[in-house]
Structure 1
């Protein structure tokens, strides 16, 4: 370590004064002791500052939420509705179709004549993969009981198979969400979608659905219903008879 300016000045003074060796030695020891004392004062201060800095960092780290907690945010009811509609009315979903076909193929190849044999089918990888896809797509938005009901009654992904069979794609165009005044947990969105065939021809369709949010599980859908289609014509009919509706629209 290089001598300090103070030490240099004191040492220069020492050399310019006629003194005995013993006096010079005593002076040197005094200066050395003074410098070491100064270092001892500085070094603990640095350690103290470091300890305070580390402690502060640990406290801040502990108090700050982790990244998932920082990014996690409860969805509003309107956002939940939009998430379901975007999943439902943008497609078709070819991965769902692949998983469904694998499950159907397994059933057709397996002669399950008893409940026990059918239960083994339900424990198969094909069935679990198929069901898990539904749950990974919608479990965040529905109560568990309603999602089971929606799957069993084909209320979710309800048009997917028909879109694929007819080589039609669907796209969510516009949504107007209406909340019932007397029952604020009930929402009836007006939904506009477009259908497009392989030639790039497009037609539009409007329908109305109903979302009833659970009172015991806030933020989750407890009931889900299709109320009506535009002009009384079901969306499925437009998918299966697309060419006829293209001609009509023209």
Structure 2
């Protein structure tokens, strides 16, 4: 592999005893440990304020821009300690993310938004190939490549945000609330996309308040409450756990749907 080249294939993510705080406040995340094997999908579940986005920021290196810091613990990508690596370095190593609220560049065209995600790609041909692949995956936006992103519907903007992350051909894709604010039919579409991306060999970390969707598309899940792990395990097991049923489904969950 050439010097500086990004490794190929899915990446393993490992988090060891991670504690994160903002300013002088009590830790937002306490003692979190997790291993996401290469090519698998982990769902981080929980209500608002549970610490899910804080974990995402610690993985991607964006804590500092939100006034946060890693108090203790470590984050490893394929065995390399990236706890204090710059966000750009993590992207070069194969990380990409979609943020809560989609965060598209409203005044830029659909195609320019996608090209913004391809800054680690080298050569016009490689970028053109990624564009073609994204438009093939998301016919919802293929015919609107010249339109401003701000004119798209919420569902189309979500497709664009995911497509922009995929332009970097990530080895680890982090998705923050991709189903937030979407109609049930579009939530199903997002679930299909997550499953497709995972099946193609990308490691996925999915943050979701939609617990049913998170369990359905993931191999393993961690439920957070006020920054600590409340429950964790493989999704088939958690779907049968009475505590999950009681906390998120009022005691009702059709296991056949998970």
- TM normalised by structure 2 equals 0.27
Return the structure number with greater relative CO, CA threshold 8 A, min gap 6.
Answer: 2
- Structure with more strand by fraction: 2
